[in-house]
Amino acid sequence: MPVNRYEAHIMNDDVSRKIHHVRPGEGPCLGYGGQVMNVKLSSAESAGELTVIEDLIPPKNGPPLHVHSRESEAYYVLEGEFEFTCGEDTVRGGVGTFVHAPRGLPHRYFNVGDTPGRVLFSFTPAGIERFFGELTEQKDQLTPAIMATVAAKYGITLIPPKA
């Protein structure tokens, strides 16, 4: 049974044992807070091993500092200029930059540019697309409190900004 409507088209027990191909600009579309995400590889398509998402991120935008208890996250910049924070470290990078944020460490990304940027995200183990799907379904009434509640459901803790 699909977890949400974004997974309904891919539920097939044998799908992870076949080639998986997604054309540019395709893949189930998720989005909230101005971000537009195309899921390139889901949990169902990878037997739970890996989620890959291409994300179009508006200028001067990114999530709050947060911690994943379940998955590690990696970023590969396709377009734009980003700042990445992981633990005590902060780095900046443009096209071709790769960053890995291990689970359990506070991290975030931020598009520091004046134009939209694109990042290819990977998460292991897979499944975080369910979190993004739930945020997408609530995008019209999404508040920081709702986001924190949904995040907690998926083992993600949002860290308030320092005063």
In a domain, 5, yes or no: no
In a domain, 2, yes or no: no
Per-residue pLDDT tens digits for 67-92: 999 999 999 999 999 999 999 999 99
Q: Is residue 1 part of a domain?
A: no
CATH of residue 79: 2.60.120.10
Helix locations, the chain, DSSP H = 129-137, 144-153
Predicted TM-score (pTM) of this structure: 0.85
* C-alpha span between 76 and 101 (Å, rounded): 12
Range of 110's domain? 15-158
The mean pLDDT value of the chain amounts to 89
Instruction: With respect to residue 129, please indicate whether it lies within any of the assigned structural domains.
Output: yes
Q: How confident is the model at residue 139 (pLDDT cuts 50, 70, 90)?
A: confident
Q: Is residue 110 part of a domain?
A: yes
Burial state string for 28-38 with b = 16 or more CB within 10 A and e = fewer than 16: bebebeebebb
> Into how many domains does the chain fold?
1
